[in-house]
């Protein structure tokens, strides 16, 4: 399974490149980090001159983070002269002016100089010095040119691996043509004009329905401006399908528990009153529309229901308690119920009519007979301050169940 940018299923880039020479590196971690930087940008030949902590080094392998191929091929030398013996050209990397009459180049220029030499089969070296003091004068003297970077003159010293990664990056960018490893996928073709026309027709119709185009005499200009907004986006077929679905969903109402729907708050209250007055079937075989209306109310909650439901599902005290909305229990539809807790929550409005009150009393009698605890919450109070309603519910569900008449004491 590929890690963060590392994919062992892909081919390792194998192309000729310069040799990287580290002179007396002090820490194994820096050797490993430099090897990782080399692997990132296709450099595979590493030479070490008298590493201070010895070689091989376990910390180097840890910091290489998978660039074991570079470390396994690393060669050890006693002197810089030995490491440069087969090289025809060398660049000394340094942040200091060594006052030597040599060409001074940046990393991009160095890559341009080195590339044709490597292509011709020459061995070219990039020399990096010690972490603390860099390269000494006599070591810079062995190089054909000096490689330095445009850095803050007051803080010019880079970490060893950072210096390697900048130089290696410029090398790989030049030799690979600067091609990025991936691009934005083109999964959907551009939207045809016919699809755009259908989208705008529906959009115009819905905007007319909500009287968006005001004043009316500017309707044409406003519609053209909207069309141009989407045309400038150069949308794909999938883009238009997604936008079309969003607009039609907003226009026609959303589905799902307590997410809103096609009824406004006043209409939802009327629907709730109708359900309360209709109540349960009067005979076992009687068909009733109450369950279908309850499903509609589930998608179109009243303000009190919405606030209480949102608070209930977002309060950690009620997590996993299994509460549901507008759910049938036997012949009845209840506002909220937890079957695991055998607990029903009823929202009661102070404006209930006599029939609704009778239906509620019959429902509560049936629930009590079937060992359900009922918590009664004032709907108006729930709209104003739902926290008190939650406290009432919590005290009931955490308390002992009430005994039924006739239960043994």
Is residue 138's pLDDT more than 80?
Answer: yes
Report pLDDT digits (tens) over 41-68: 999 999 999 999 999 999 999 999 888 8
Write the CATH number for 109. 3.40.1280.10
- Please give the average per-residue pLDDT across 377-381, as a whole number: 84
> 5-49: per-residue pLDDT in tens?
566 666 666 678 999 999 999 999 999 999 999 999 999 999 999
Q: Identify the residue with better confidence: 290 or 96.
A: 96
Mean pLDDT on 239-260: 69
Residues 234 and 157 in one domain: no
- pLDDT-based confidence at residue 75 (cuts at 50, 70, 90): very high
| The pLDDT of residue 206 | 84
pLDDT of residue 280: 47
Domain count for the chain, please give it. Answer: 3
8-state DSSP, 331? T
What percentage of the chain carries pLDDT values higher than 70? 81
By three-state DSSP, how is residue 247 classified?
Answer: helix
Mean pLDDT of 238-263: 68
Q: Mean pLDDT score of the chain, rounded to an integer?
A: 83
Q: Which of 51, 42, 138 is nearest to 94 (CA)?
A: 138
Helices (H), ranges, 210-340 = 219-232, 237-252, 265-278, 290-299, 303-314
E strands, 330-371, are 332-338, 343-348
Q: Where are the alpha helices (DSSP H) in 279-315?
A: 290-299, 303-314
Average pLDDT over residues 278-295: 49
Question: Which residues sit opposite 77 in a β-bridge?
Answer: 49
> 319 and 232: one domain?
no
Tell me: do 71 and 147 sit in the same domain: yes
For residue 260, what pLDDT band results from cuts at 50, 70 and 90? Answer: very low
**168 and 236 share one domain:** no
> What pLDDT, in 10s, does the model give residues 301-347?
777 788 888 888 888 888 888 888 878 888 887 888 898 889 999 88
User: How far is 376 from 175, CA to CA, in rounded Å?
Assistant: 76
Q: Which residue has the tokens 């079309």?
A: 244
Task: Output the CA torsion sign for 68, 72, 78, 82.
Answer: negative
Given 176, 202, 237, the domain boundary residue is 176
CA–CA separation, 34 vs 351, rounded Å? 78
Residue 292 has pLDDT above 80, yes or no: no
Peptide bond connecting 6 to the previous residue in cis, omega within 30 degrees of 0: no
Strand partners, 49: 23, 77
Contacts of 265 (CB under 8 A, 6+ apart): 302, 303
In a domain, residue 182? The reply is no
The answer to whether residue 283 scores a pLDDT higher than 60 is no
Percent of the chain predicted with pLDDT > 90: 38
State which of 142-146, 267-271, 306-310 shows the largest mean pLDDT.
142-146
Identify whether 68 is part of a domain: yes
Q: What is the pTM of this model?
A: 0.53
The per-residue pLDDT for 262 is 54
Phi-psi region of 100 (alpha: psi -120 to 50; beta: other; left: phi over 0): beta
Domain end: 224, 252, 280, which one? Answer: 252
Whether 209 and 242 share a structural domain: yes
Sheet hosting strand 343-348, strand order edge to edge: 323-329, 332-338, 343-348, 373-378
| C-alpha neighbours within 13 Å on the C-beta side of residue 358 | 7
Query: Which range of residues forms the domain containing residue 348?
Result: 265-398
- 136 and 235 share one domain: no
Do 28 and 144 lie in one domain? The reply is yes
Q: Which of 174, 159, 162, 75 is nearest to 125 (CA)?
A: 75
Please report the sign of the dihedral spanned by the C-alpha atoms of residue 104, residue 110, residue 113, residue 114.
positive
């Amino acid at each position: 399974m590929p890690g963060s940018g590392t994919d062992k299923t892909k081919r390792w880039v194998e192309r000729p490149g310069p040799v990287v020479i580290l002179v007396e590196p002090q820490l194994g971690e820096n050797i490993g980090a430099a090897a990782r930087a080399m692997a990132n940008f296709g450099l595979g030949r590493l030479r070490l001159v008298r590493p201070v902590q010895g070689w091989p080094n376990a910390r180097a392998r840890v910091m290489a983070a998978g660039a074991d191929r570079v470390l396994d091929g690393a060669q050890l030398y006693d002197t810089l002269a030995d490491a440069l013996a087969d090289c025809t050209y060398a660049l000394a990397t340094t942040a200091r002016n060594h006052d030597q009459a040599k060409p001074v180049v940046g990393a991009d220029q160095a890559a341009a100089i080195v590339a044709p030499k490597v292509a011709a089969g020459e061995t070219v070296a990039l020399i990096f010095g010690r972490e603390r003091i860099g390269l000494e004068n006599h070591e810079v003297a062995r190089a054909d040119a000096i490689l330095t970077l445009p850095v803050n003159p007051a803080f010019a010293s880079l970490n060893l691996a950072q210096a390697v990664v900048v130089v290696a990056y410029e090398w790989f960018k030049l030799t690979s043509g600067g091609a990025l490893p991936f691009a934005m996928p083109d999964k959907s073709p551009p939207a045809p004009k016919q699809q755009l026309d259908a989208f705008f027709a529906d959009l115009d119709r819905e905007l007319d329905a909500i009287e968006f185009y005001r004043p009316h005499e500017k309707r044409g200009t406003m519609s053209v401006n909207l069309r141009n907004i989407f045309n400038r986006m150069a949308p794909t077929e999938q883009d238009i399908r997604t936008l079309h679905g969003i607009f039609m969903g907003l226009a026609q109402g959303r589905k799902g528990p307590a997410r809103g729907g096609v009824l406004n708050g006043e209409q939802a209250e009327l629907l709730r009153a109708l359900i309360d007055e209709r109540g349960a079937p009067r005979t076992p075989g009687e068909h009733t529309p109450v369950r279908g209306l309850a499903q509609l109310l589930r998608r179109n909650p009243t303000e009190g229901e919405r606030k209480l439901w949102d608070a209930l599902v977002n309060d950690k005290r009620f997590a996993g308690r299994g509460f549901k909305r507008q759910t049938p229990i036997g012949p009845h539809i209840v506002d909220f119920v937890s079957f695991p807790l055998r607990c029903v929550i009823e929202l009661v409005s102070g404006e209930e009519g006599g029939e609704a009150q009778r239906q509620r009393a019959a429902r509560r009698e049936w629930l009590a007979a079937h060992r359900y605890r009922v918590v009664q919450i004032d709907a108006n109070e729930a709209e104003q301050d739902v926290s008190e309603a939650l406290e009432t519910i919590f005290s009931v569900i955490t308390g002992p169940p009430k005994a039924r008449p006739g239960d043994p004491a």
